[in-house]
């Protein structure tokens, strides 16, 4: 049944999300991978770590892959077997449908990532003297939640542009695991403005580049917004 209300569209998209095993699996993988790898990194410190906050939140580098997978699979299913035509038959306003889709991507990731960040901070702070201070831990927990949410939205936007989950993952995952890793020891150059490099400044105790914790997240947010705007444009320009 067609409707002009946002709430039924949101409800429909939420039903899709919670009934897909791939979605639930990707969401559960965010805390599992983040906490597991963070605990391994924190337990391996000897108390002389110059960046205890990043050691405590080391697992975010792996948890972001799960967040990206969640954002990608939430959108990619709409471009298989005419599923988008069915969705738009129910919610003919494409902007409203896209907003509902993004809401069910962002809100679950934000909630799960915040809980993940708090647990990770608690585990890291329980390993003195190498653990972060309470203030750093709180910043890291909040930054973790915002950063992972932005990465999920970035993936959702790119998937809408490419109309392929495989293509999106083939671009983002090698980029995060290879390109940023290669550039990881460089600072003070344009690489600092890449989405993951900028967004993860909030997870460091100190930083040498041009961006601080919150300006870094702002840059990551700009990347996500750009991807979402491009996705919205592609959605309106191309037939379902």
* 187: pLDDT strictly greater than 60: no
Exposure on the CB side of residue 114, measured as CA atoms within 13 A: 7
Q: Looking at residue 57, what is its pLDDT?
A: 92
Does residue 142 contact residue 197 with C-beta atoms inside 8 Å?
no
Q: Looking at residue 46, what is its pLDDT?
A: 58
Break the chain into its structural domains and give their ranges. 6-237
Q: What is the pLDDT of residues 53-80, one digit of tens each?
A: 888 899 999 999 999 999 999 999 888 8
160: tokens are: 């809408």
Q: What is the pLDDT of residues 176-186, one digit of tens each?
A: 877 766 765 55
Pick the closest to residue 117 from 145, 76, 78, 93 (CA basis). 145
> Burial level of 127, CB count in 10 A (0-12/13-18/19+)?
middle
pTM for the model stands at 0.90
The whole-angstrom distance between residue 176's C-alpha and the CA centroid of its chain comes to 12
Buried b (16+ CB within 10 A) or exposed e, 7-33: ebbbebbeebbeeeeebeebbebbbeb
Q: How far apart are CA 163 and CA 156, in angstroms?
A: 10
- What are the angstrom distances between the C-alpha of 230 and each of 55, 123, 235? 35, 39, 9
Query: What is the DSSP code (8-state) at residue 179?
Result: I
Q: What percent of the chain is modeled with pLDDT above 70?
A: 88
Task: Provide mean pLDDT across the span 99-116.
Answer: 96
3-state DSSP: the chain helix, strand, coil percent, rounded to 5? 80, 0, 20
Q: Looking at residue 3, what is its pLDDT?
A: 44
């Amino acid at each position: 049944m067609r409707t002009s209300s946002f709430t039924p569209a949101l409800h429909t998209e939420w039903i899709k999300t919670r009934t897909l095993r791939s979605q639930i699996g990707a969401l559960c993988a965010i805390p599992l991978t983040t906490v597991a790898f963070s605990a391994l990194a924190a337990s391996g410190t000897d108390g002389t770590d110059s960046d205890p906050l990043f050691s405590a939140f080391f697992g975010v580098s792996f948890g972001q892959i799960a967040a990206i997978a969640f954002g990608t699979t939430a959108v990619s299913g709409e471009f298989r077997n005419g599923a988008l035509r069915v969705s738009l038959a129910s919610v003919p306003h494409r902007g409203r449908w896209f907003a509902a889709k993004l809401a069910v991507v962002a809100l679950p990731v934000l909630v799960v990532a915040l809980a993940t960040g708090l647990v990770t901070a608690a585990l890291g702070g329980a390993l003195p003297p190498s653990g972060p201070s309470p203030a750093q831990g709180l910043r890291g927990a909040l930054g973790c939640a915002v950063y992972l949410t932005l990465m999920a939205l970035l993936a959702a936007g790119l998937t809408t542009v490419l109309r392929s989950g495989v293509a999106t993952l083939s671009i983002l995952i090698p980029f995060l695991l290879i390109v940023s890793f290669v550039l990881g020891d460089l600072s003070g150059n344009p690489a600092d403005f890449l989405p993951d490099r900028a967004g993860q400044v909030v997870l460091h105790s100190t930083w040498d580049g041009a961006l601080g914790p919150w300006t870094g997240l702002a840059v990551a947010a700009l990347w996500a917004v750009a991807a979402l705007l491009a996705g919205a444009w592609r959605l309106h320009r191309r037939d379902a």
